[in-house]
Amino acid sequence: MIDTDGERAEWYFPAEANAVRTARHAVRETLRAWELDSTLGDVTVLLVSELVTNSLRYASGPIGVRLVRPRLDDQDPNHPPALLVEVSDPLPDPPTERAPGPEDEGGRGLGLVACSARRWGTRKGRAGKTVWFELALPGE
């Protein structure tokens, strides 16, 4: 189970070409407001861009993006606090990692998520799926 108790920001974007740019901007501004932009901004924006691009490529409905910053009080020492990022779309099929060739223009997004995130995964929803990842908060 993923703990989602803390500050939250959530958006829904239509499956249109400007969704990636708009999602990047919304995530960057939220991280700036939470004073996390200097440490987590670039990697978070990159990974959100990759996942929203995947949603645009394969799904035809709205794309949800959610950030959850946990409260720092009452933390479980076995699970240090992390920024939780979720990207949801109406396509029920989970994404599949693949090994792109050197000339391939795509196919690297999930690999970037796997290499950059502390943990990541997918889960089914009532209508579609969510791809989530965690990034360690500064000092962890």
Q: Tell me: the pLDDT tens digits for 97-127?
A: 777 667 766 667 888 899 999 999 999 988 8
One-letter amino acid at 138 equals P
What distance lies between CA 49 and its chain's CA centroid? 8
Q: How far is CA 96 from CA 52, 80, 131, in A?
A: 15, 28, 11
For Cα atoms 117, 132, 101, give the angle at the middle one, nearest 5 degrees: 65
End-to-end CA, the chain:
21
**pTM for the whole thing?**
0.86
Average pLDDT over the chain, rounded to an integer: 86
